[in-house]
Copies of this chain bind each other. A is one copy, B any other.
Amino acid sequence: MTPPSAAAIAALKSALGDGGWTDDPAGIAPWLTEWRNRWNGHTPLMLTPRSTEQVAGAVRICAEHRVSIVPQGGDTGLVGGQIPFGEVLLSTRKLRAVRDVTPLDDAMTVEAGVTLLEAQQAAAAADRLFPLSLAAEGSATIGGVISTNAGGTAVIRYGVMRDLVLGIEAVLPDGEVFRGLKRLRKDNTGYDLKQLLIGAEGTLGVVTAATLKLFPVMRSRATAMVGLESPRAAIELLARAKAETGGGVEAFELMKRIGMAFVLANIPDTREPLESAPPWYVLIELVSGEPGAADTAMEQLLSHAFEAGLITDAAIAQNDAQRAAFWKVREEQSAAQKPEGGGWKHDVSVPVSRIADFLDDATAAVGRFHPGARVSAFGHVGDGNIHYDVLCPTGGDHPAFIARWAEGSQIVHDIVARYDGSISAEHGLGRLKTEEARRYKSPAEIRSMQAIRAALDPHRIMNPAVLF
Contact = CB atoms under 8 A, between A and B. Distances in A.
A89 interface: no
B445 A193 contact: yes
Interface string A187-212: 11111110110111000100000000
A186 B151 contact: yes
Contacts of A288: 246
A160 to B, nearest CB: 6
A73 B251 CA distance: 38
A239 interface: yes
A149 B384 CA distance: 26
A41 interface: no
Nearest to A448: B193
A448 B163 contact: no
A97 to B, nearest CB: 18
The quantity of this chain's copies bound in the complex is 2
Contacts of A243: 127, 216-217, 289
A343 interface: no
A184 B349 contact: yes
A149 B385 contact: no
Contacts of A422: 182, 184, 186-189
Contact of A192 (B156, B198, B424): B198
A175 to B, nearest CB: 10
A188 B199 contact: yes
Interface stretch (A5-13, A62-70, A268-276, A425-433): A425-433
Interface string A85-128: 00000000000000000111111000000000000000000010
Contacts of A421: 184
A351 B349 CA distance: 35
B455 A190 contact: no
A247 interface: yes
Given A288-B246, A456-B451, A441 B192 contact: no
B188 A148 contact: yes
A444 B246 contact: no
B289 A248 contact: yes
Contacts of A385: 185-186
A442 interface: yes
B456 A189 contact: no
Nearest to A296: B290
Contacts of A255: none
A334 interface: no
A351 B105 contact: yes
Contacts of A28: none
Contacts of A384: 105, 184-186
Contacts of A467: 190-191
Contacts of A199: 188, 190-192
B420 A189 contact: no
A224 interface: no
A246 B289 contact: yes
A200 B189 contact: no
Nearest to A289: B246
A297 B291 CA distance: 12
A148 to B, nearest CB: 7
Contact of A200 (B191, B218, B297, B429): B191
A186 B246 contact: no
25 contacts: A105-B352, A155-B185, A160-B186, A163-B163, A172-B444, A176-B447, A178-B445, A182-B420, A184-B349, A184-B421, A185-B349, A188-B427, A189-B437, A189-B441, A190-B199, A190-B441, A191-B196, A191-B199, A191-B204, A191-B452, A191-B467, A193-B448, A196-B452, A216-B243, A452-B452
Interface of A: 102-107, 127, 148-149, 151, 155-156, 159-160, 162-163, 172, 176-193, 195-196, 198-200, 204, 215-219, 235, 239, 242-248, 287-290, 293, 297, 349-353, 380, 383-385, 420-429, 433, 437, 440-442, 444-449, 451-456, 467-468
